[in-house]
Amino acid sequence: MHHGYPTETLARFLKARDWDVPKAYKMLIDCLQWRIQNEIDNILSKPIIPADLYRAVRDSQLVGLSGYSKEGLPVIAIGVGLSTYDKASVNYYVQSHIQMNEYRDRVVLPAATQKYGKHISTCLKVLDMTGLKLSALNQIKLLTTISTIDDLNYPEKTETYYIVNAPYIFSACWKAVKPLLQERTKRKIQVLQGCGRDELLKVMDYSSLPHFCRKEGSGSSRNRSNGTIDNCFSLDHSYHQQLYNYIRHQANLIESGRPIKQGSVHVEFPEPDPEDTKIAKTIESEFQRLADQNGICNSLNGLKVNGD
């Protein structure tokens, strides 16, 4: 689990619990038990098959590796607004998310450490809010589950969250949620203007910019880029090809010629932290308020005045 850096790993858990040793100890023990009970050490040998199903997951859970920062940190791009999570069961999306976490920790970060000649244990995340709609409320439960898994079992793995292409609906929710966040978390989040290109170019080269940040006003799309080569969300992107081939290779080593079993990995969903639950409830309330406002506006737009 510590990948050769036990002290740094302990420090992450301590930091996540504000340096409270008993709380950090409990968090670490709970994490280890979760990993054992759910066989997380073996999850990179359990591919999502057939390939068409995995492609459907990738097309509806928009996540990818676009490159590296100038400091050597992996840049993870996430299409929050256009992810629909409607092409497979919840278990497949959770499995895919954990596999990307594990691949990051076991392969991507060690490779970056070797390439840049210093220990690299965190990443940057660029969250694209293009297309965020009120219907995203339907995904709150799944997103809360994924967030809780990260908070409890992969703490302090993200250096900075960059929010780009934020529509009004995000701004309204952010205003309501921001006061609920811990100061440590607030310091990590930067809401950038537009696609954030100019700000992001201060910390990464153009070649590492996610495709939705490369041109002001270009927005994001599953397909809107210079082909699938630049679109790090696509299964055809080099990152996802390497990840999927790695998982299939690990599966073949274990199965020794036997057919690879189909079916999702069922991971126990941890109970969300009370603070996370409060944040999710706040987002739900804000979405509902905006939906009600939208309904009133639509009703007013539909009214006829003096027969017109």
pLDDT of residue 304: 42
pLDDT of residue 293: 74
Give buried/exposed letters for 208-219 (b at 16+ CB in 10 A, else e): bbbbbbbeeebb
Domains of the chain: 38-213+229-244 (3.40.525.10)
Distance CA 269, CA 271 (A): 7
pLDDT of residue 90: 93
pLDDT of residue 232: 95
Residues linked to residue 125 through DSSP beta bridges, in sequence order = 76, 161
pLDDT of residue 258: 63
| Residue owning tokens 């036990």 | 6
pLDDT of residue 225: 45
User: Considering the chain, what is the average pLDDT of its residues?
Assistant: 87
pTM: 0.87
Q: Residue 304 class from Cβ within 10 Å (0-12 exposed, 13-18 middle, 19+ buried)?
A: exposed
Distance CA 219, CA 59 (A): 17
pLDDT of residue 223: 43
Structure tokens at 170: 């995000």
pLDDT of residue 11: 96
Distance CA 272, CA 75 (A): 26
- Which regions of the chain are under pLDDT 50? 217-225, 296-308
Provide the strand spans (E) within the chain: 63-68, 74-79, 123-128, 158-164, 189-191
pLDDT of residue 295: 62
Structure tokens at 277: 């639950």
